[in-house]
Amino acid sequence: MTPEEIRNKDKDIHAFLEVFDDAKSYGQGPLSSKTIAIKDNILFEGHKASAGSKILEGFRAPYDATVVKKLKAAGAIIVGRTNMDEFAMGSSTENSAYGVTKNPHDLTRVAGGTSGGSAAAVASGMCDMALGSDTGGSIRQPAAFCGVVGLKPTYGSVSRSGLIAFASSFDQIGPLTKTVNDAEVLFNILKGEDPLDSTTISDLPAGEAEETYPKKKKFSKAIGVPRRFVESEGVSESVRKNFEESVEKFKSLGYEVVDIELPHIKYSLATYYIIMPAEASSNLARFDGVKYGLHKDGKDVIEDYFKTRGQGFGREVRRRIILGTYVLSSGYYDEYYGKAIEVRRLITEELRSIFEKIDLLLVPTTPSPAWKMGEKSKNPLEMYLADIFTVHANISGCPAISLPSGFTNGLPLGIELTADLGREDNLFTAGKEFLGE
């Protein structure tokens, strides 16, 4: 597709914030002739990067993110930057300062978030693949809503250098693609240690020599289903039915599906919504309008900050900054943040322990199909509940993939597989079998 063809097709969907007229291949490689879009929080030298926010108005990236360098080296054609919830905060791409991205399957519904633009761009055929970032489900949830494949890699497997930070202990860049095979190819290009990101680790996993990752356990086709968790209140009947059909499909492919208990996983969402805003309030303190982006004049420097941040940040971002500052404040730090960190450890240990017995954890990706635009905007709690099945992977650092699993009333549904640290290979094997690739 030419830039003009993409723009014409995108008029109704608004997946892109900018289509690049200078898009080109940077040489021969495994991604030669492949078109790829990048989320608006990933730096591409000389191009705008706004993270979906007015506060970064006019900002142009001074350097390439490590993942962009790797895309260029692999010969990819970067066609544009995609719409997103402001600073990756939201579950529907309705929080973008630049308008809502619509679901290609039903233009009255959301594309999911926060990587909704990337998911919609792939689902509508405007590009071959896309990059998103996943802090609590922001790749997998829009992948499910738009009917594509979305991978959140193991924390530290892909460099975050050049990613505009949201919550640093959760953020991870990953692919959105049409097939599991494409996700695997793209992941293998992106992964690897990076001196610019101290959280990255060397190629996955080295086994006995690596303490960071478990020794490779032979893939035994054992899938665990946490029934009590899957049957949580608020899960739609269509999602339950599709999930059971997916379980039966795995059984027909020779997988052993066993019911498991994960007593602490039900606390994942509450844990996430304490730690995440705390990290966000710290990371977003740098956006003050002094050196770049939006700047508003006040009577003194303090009023400059208040006006700039008050007008530059949207409602959801302001809400999370305030919430994060509160849980980190004197008198509340131990009561909220400290306890959430402890529960995070319990959830992580619980998942690591269960992966000694099974290869994969299976849950629905989302509790419902894509909702109508505006349906949940006035109730933030309802929006947050959309992350119930995805946040455990970010809390624990484990890799997880969303696979298209069918439709209900013309709307896509997805199932999610989670694996042990460094075991993306298990996700790819099972995903390709499930989708018949």
Question: Domain containing 205 — which CATH number?
Answer: 3.90.1300.10
What does the DSSP assignment read for 396-431?
H---EEEEEEEEETTEEEEEEEEESTT-HHHHHHHH
The rounded mean pLDDT for the chain is: 95
Contact 294, 366 (CB under 8 A): no
What is the DSSP code (8-state) at residue 153?
P
pLDDT value of position 207: 45
Contact 206, 200 (CB under 8 A): no
Instruction: Fill in the amino acid letter for 383.
Output: M
Contact 111, 146 (CB under 8 A): yes
Structural domain of residue 95, as residue ranges? 1-437
- Give the separation between CA 22 and CA 59, rounded to whole angstroms: 18
pLDDT value of position 380: 81
Residues 209-237: tens digit of each pLDDT: 445 555 678 899 999 999 999 998 889 99
Average pLDDT over residues 181-196: 97
Q: Which pLDDT band holds residue 382 (cuts at 50, 70, 90)?
A: confident
Average pLDDT over residues 372-395: 91
Residues 86-117: tens digit of each pLDDT: 999 999 999 999 999 999 999 999 999 999 99
Q: Per-residue pLDDT for 204 more than 80?
A: no
Q: Per-residue pLDDT for 168 more than 60?
A: yes
Question: What distances in angstroms separate CA 381 from CA 269, 314, 322, one per listed residue?
Answer: 11, 17, 16
Average pLDDT over residues 351-367: 97
Q: What is the share, in percent, of the chain residues with pLDDT greater than 70?
A: 97
Residues 117-148: tens digit of each pLDDT: 999 999 999 999 999 999 999 999 999 999 99
| Between 189 and 383, residue with greater pLDDT | 189
Q: Per-residue pLDDT for 342 more than 80?
A: yes
Residues 269-318: tens digit of each pLDDT: 999 999 999 999 999 999 999 999 999 999 999 999 999 999 999 999 99
pLDDT value of position 89: 97
Give how many domains the chain has, as a whole number.
Answer: 1
Task: Go through 281-307 and write b for each residue having 16 or more CB atoms within 10 A of its CB, e for each that does not.
Answer: bbbbeebbbeeebbeeeeeeeeebbeb
Q: pTM above the 0.85 mark?
A: yes
pLDDT value of position 377: 82
Neighbours of 193 (CB within 10 A): 12
| Between 130 and 385, residue with greater pLDDT | 130
